[in-house]
Amino acid sequence: MAKYIHSMIRVLDEAKSLDFYGRCFGLKVAERLDFESFTLIYLANDESGTELELTVNKGRTEPYNLGDGYGHVAFSVDDVDATHARLIAEGFEPRKLVDFAPGGEVIARFFFIKDPDGYEIEVLQRQGRYK
């Protein structure tokens, strides 16, 4: 059986990305592999065995075109309201909290935030299937 281990995104500014993912989601560098033309940085925390791989292409100065195919990555948290308030207090700009209730019953409570490169991140209350 296959095991999902990481997702990769390309980032322009390593320091900004490490600060964002560290402060917002508690991700720390698990491993950093430096090559001549690029660097791979694997981020993780104790909540999951899955990692986020940041690829920094050396010499790149232009922001990446995210196109129209990228959706989002998602994190679940114990208290989405507190996380939302904390991110606002720290100067980030999360969008509004949403109660998703297509059949009248709330099946998800979440908000979105963008990382420094414009990647969308969904932050969900840890409940139901979003554990």
Exposure class string for 42-52: b at 16+ Cβ within 10 A, else e = bbbbeeeeebb
Q: What pTM did the predictor assign?
A: 0.89
pLDDT of residue 68: 82
pLDDT of residue 46: 94
Q: Which residues of the chain carry a pLDDT beneath 70?
A: none
pLDDT digits (tens, 9 = 90+) for 104-116: 888 999 999 999 9
Structural domains in the chain plus CATH codes: 1-59 (3.10.180.10), 71-131 (3.10.180.10)
Cα–Cα dist 70/58, whole Å: 23
Residue 12: enclosing H or E segment and its boundaries? none
Tell me how crowded residue 20 is: count the other CB atoms within 10 A of its CB: 21
Known catalytic residues are 122
